[in-house]
Structure 1
Amino acid sequence: MGSHAEVDSSSTTESRWSLEGTTALVTGGTKGIGHAIVEELARFGAVVHTCSRNEAELNECKHEWEKKGFRVTVSVCDVTSPSERQKLITTVSSLFDGKLNILINNVGTNKMKPTTEYKAEDFSLIMSTNFESAYHLSQLSHPLLKASSAGSIVFLSSVSGVVSVNVGSIYSATKASY
């Protein structure tokens, strides 16, 4: 019987999953899944840029990421605004020398209420945040992703886009769109 060499799983994982030399944009990276994605990408060596509407949360997260040694830059952006989306991509292009490897369309919002109680403003907010921003940011980032020769776009969806979940019909529609 031959002996089995012991493998150090941490070094194997790090070498197999290295993102050293890659760049990433994560929308909505200060909370929840977005925050976890920013940290995981940075942990694997990617240089990450993230955005949020809340400058105080961005600065708090940036400080924590700096303490961890992560290479993360931040900017304030309301993704419901087409001009702010354009400004975000211009910033990312400048920071990453015109190249982007990974776009994570994470940002999302919801207002839970019965379908008959939604107002036009609710529809507009949820659609522009969850669907329109992801679509437009994907379009805007296309030249940067193409320039990297290894571009990926990730859309964060939800089970509510596939099965009936009591979270609101507009939210479910936006998540089914991916």
Structure 2
Amino acid sequence: MEETQSKRGKERWSLHGMTALVTGGTKGIGHAVVEELLSFGAAVHTCARNEAELRSCVERWRGMGYPQVTGSVCDVSSREQREQLMNEVNNAGTVIVKPTTEYSEEDAGRIWATNFESAFHLSQLSHPLLKESGRGSIVFISSVAGVVAVPYGTPYAATKGAMNQLTKNLACEWAKDNIRANCVAPWLTKTPLADPLLDEQTLAKVRSRTPLGRIAEAEEVSSAVAFLCLPAASYITGQTITIDGGMTINGFFFN
């Protein structure tokens, strides 16, 4: 009996036998998510636009003892390349910061295609595979910008708000197919995407409004993603979980 319970417990905290697709896996949060899922035993396929960076990452992961990782070159803002990616087998993002009145149609279109359309389309394409698995799980990477107003670009915030709602709809519509959908919404995180925003003045303001008094490490986001994929999280669906050091619940406290 004890041996059976022990085995069952280990299975609840393992991703062995499962396959994950992680977009944008060579940098930032995507990179951390790949490593987190590999550490739990998942087979991981990732994609990136830069072939040299992708090859370097895959070789390094295999050298770390993860032969189950593969990769392919893909620009997820391209519909055709997304379809090609799914034929071979979701955390890509872009942000352009400027006042709302200064965004061109091209700017807004690129942000929409990369941040929302790619997530929506890849969900459509992956649905048959997720349904067939009998225990599919989608975890979107959103942002606190989709939950509260922050000065990092209106189009970016709109795509993240749309992603949060997409999470709810898919969770309800695809529950009959045993597919869960959740979302993690980080605050500022140490990634290449955030680097241009992290001057000392900005960091001081962020720390003053964040109860934990610092920005996140990428691994603090990827651990939440991995948890939501685990069998242990099998009754969690439709949720947007903020990984923000308490920022979104802070009313009028300053550090």
- Which among 51, 58, 63 is matched to residue 47 of structure 2? 51
Contact 1:28 1:50 in 2 (8 A): yes
CA deviation after TM superposition for structure 1 residue 126, in Å: 0.3
Matches within 5 A, 1:54-69: 54-69=50-65
Distance in 1 (CA, whole Å) between partners of 2:23 and 2:77 is 12
Structure 2 residue 101 is the aligned partner of structure 1 residue 116:
yes
Distance in 1 (CA, whole Å) between partners of 2:16 and 2:147 is 35
CA deviation after TM superposition for structure 1 residue 18, in Å: 1.0
Distance in 1 (CA, whole Å) between partners of 2:13 and 2:61 is 20
The one-letter amino acid paired with 1:73 is: T
Distance in 1 (CA, whole Å) between partners of 2:86 and 2:146 is 28
For 1:77, the equivalent position in structure 2 comes to: 74
Matches within 5 A, 1:88-107: 88-92=85-89, 105-107=90-92
Contact 1:29 1:37 in 2 (8 A): yes
Contact 1:14 1:44 in 2 (8 A): no
- Which among 2, 7, 18 is matched to residue 14 of structure 2? 18
Distance in 2 (CA, whole Å) between partners of 1:67 and 1:14 is 26
Identity %: 64
Q: CA RMSD in A?
A: 1.7
Structure 2 residue 144 is the aligned partner of structure 1 residue 147:
no
SS of 2:61's partner is: helix
Distance in 1 (CA, whole Å) between partners of 2:128 and 2:12 is 28
Contact 1:26 1:38 in 2 (8 A): yes
Structure 2 residue 30 is the aligned partner of structure 1 residue 34:
yes
Structure 2 residue 72 is the aligned partner of structure 1 residue 87:
no
For 2:158, the equivalent position in structure 1 comes to: 173
The one-letter amino acid paired with 1:52 is: A
Runs of 4 or more off by more than 4 Å in structure 1?
13-16
Distance in 2 (CA, whole Å) between partners of 1:61 and 1:76 is 12
SS of 1:177's partner is: helix
The one-letter amino acid paired with 1:90 is: N
Give unpaired runs (5+ residues) of structure 2: 1-8, 164-255
Task: Report the count of equivalent residues.
Answer: 156
For 1:4, the equivalent position in structure 2 comes to: none
The one-letter amino acid paired with 1:38 is: V
CA deviation after TM superposition for structure 1 residue 14, in Å: 6.2
CA deviation after TM superposition for structure 1 residue 16, in Å: 4.4
Distance in 1 (CA, whole Å) between partners of 2:34 and 2:10 is 17
For 1:99, the equivalent position in structure 2 comes to: none
Distance in 1 (CA, whole Å) between partners of 2:63 and 2:107 is 38
The one-letter amino acid paired with 1:167 is: Y
TM-score by length of 2: 0.59
SS of 1:126's partner is: helix
